[in-house]
Amino acid sequence: MENRMLLFACRASENFAKKVVAALDKENKKRDPNAPEITLGQYEVTPFSDGEFEPAYAQSVRGAKVFILQSTFPPADNLMEMLLAIDAAKRASADKVIAVVPYFGWARQDRKAKPRVSIGAKLVANLFRAAGADRIMTCDLHADQIQGFFDVPVDHVYASKVFVPYIKSLNIENLAIAAPDMGGAKRANAYAKDLACPVIICHKSREKANVVASITAIGDVEGKNVIIVDDMIDTAGTLCKAADVLKSKGAKSVRACATHGVLSGKAYDNIANSALSEVFVTDTIPLTTDPTKDTSKITVISMAEVFATIIDKVYNYEPISTEFIF
């Protein structure tokens, strides 16, 4: 029997998955105008009164190459649903199960930064393998070396694929790229190289997790229109403090781009009341639907077409090296 592609979306990433499938169908029609329409597979979740839930496929997946889309941002139910969905597909005799995880949660726990803590990123990588994932697709891991935590192939996409063209389209004069901390220097340097502009490094010290004690900017800031680049925005505390420091150093304007808009706690208020003029994030994590949250400064740039291209090429055994720009 000819191998076939089936795509399913877990609940937290259903809207993103619909955009991916629409882009994938468009890509498929370019290859074969007579190809049948690609749609999301039939998937349902049965909840139990105690909070447990049971994912199930409402169609056969036997012998298929199954792509399951879900970002594993909190709550932990999102990760658990993804693992159960992978397990269900393997037990239903899927030929291959590819976990498409636009945002890979727990990635910040990638080492023992202090005694007696877990390495959460490695544990979650092991869980994906134990559930039966044959391949992982993800975007802008907190640290590139997390790819090595997996014992299956990892397709690691970079959001620079969409951010760099968007930044170029803004035609910003006196542009400078800033890293919010020393760990982001490599990412900032890659963006700056592509955009032919200087780099500013912000050095920060923390009191504890999510609490920044101080930030110092290193580089020529005076008169620059600065864009801070990072892999995620959580509470936005570091980001907003960095923006204040850059403005105090003479920056003409400060923007930010971050792949994953976790935006927890007071993040929306922090951004709305900060020196930032604009923040761009991708749709790997959906923005809040709470009307009381101020999202006026936030621009969402979709990664759907990028993931659709990778899925299409992996399914058709085509090289994907050209898709990986940093």
User: From CA 128, how far away is CA 145, in angstroms rounded?
Assistant: 17
Phi, psi (deg, nearest 5) at residue 236: 70, 10
User: From CA 135, how far away is CA 22, in angstroms rounded?
Assistant: 22
Q: Is the dihedral of CA 270, 273, 276, 279 positive or negative?
A: positive
Cβ neighbors of 321 (< 8 A, separation 6 or more) are none
Contact 253, 226 (CB under 8 A): yes
208 is catalytic: no
Q: One of 204, 247, 297, 313 is an active-site residue; which one?
A: 204
Cβ neighbors of 272 (< 8 A, separation 6 or more) are 294, 296, 297
In sequence order, the β-bridge partners of residue 7 are: 40, 67
- Return contacts of 76-83, CB within 8 angstroms, 24+ apart: 77/53, 78/10, 78/11, 78/12, 78/105, 79/105, 79/106, 79/124, 79/127, 81/10, 81/11, 81/12, 81/45, 81/53, 81/55, 82/10, 83/127, 83/128, 83/131
User: From CA 311, how far away is CA 308, in angstroms rounded?
Assistant: 5
Which residue is associated with the tokens 């839930």? 53
Exposed / middle / buried, residue 27 (Cβ in 10 Å: 0-12, 13-18, 19+): middle
Give the dihedral of Cα atoms 70, 258, 186, 238; nearest 10 deg. Answer: -120
Extract the tokens encoding 63: 């012998």
Q: Residue 69 belongs to what H/E stretch?
A: strand 65-69
User: From CA 257, how far away is CA 281, in angstroms rounded?
Assistant: 6
Active-site positions read: 204
